[in-house]
Amino acid sequence: MEGGRKGLLVSTMTAASQVNDSRTELLQKYLKKSEENKAKNDKERLDSYYKQTYKDYFDFVEGSLKGKKEQLSESEQGILDWLKRNK
């Protein structure tokens, strides 16, 4: 009876170890993929934030820039470029 319990315990521990190894491997795969996509995901989040936060303001500024006679500043030109890309 004692040998049967030990065998069952060892086989259970081995199976649990294999499941943990499999989970660890899968987790490592997801972490690697997440790290590879971090810059892309950060940029997408930032672009989404800008679209939600600044679009109305930039549209407002665009109206005053259209009638402007003097040369546009770098930031004003940047706003117009951003609006062209995000309309």
Q: What does the alpha-carbon distance between residue 54 and residue 83 come to, in Å, rounded to a whole number?
A: 10
Two tokens, residue 4 = 């049967």
Mean pLDDT of 46-69: 85
Task: Specify the number of domains making up the chain.
Answer: 1
Predicted confidence (pLDDT) per residue in 17-56, tens digit:
666 778 888 889 988 988 899 999 999 999 899 888 888 8
pLDDT of residue 9 exceeding 70: no
Which residue range(s) make up the domain with 36? 2-85
Q: How many CB atoms lie within 10 A of CB 79?
A: 19
Quote the longest CA-to-CA distance of the chain: 96
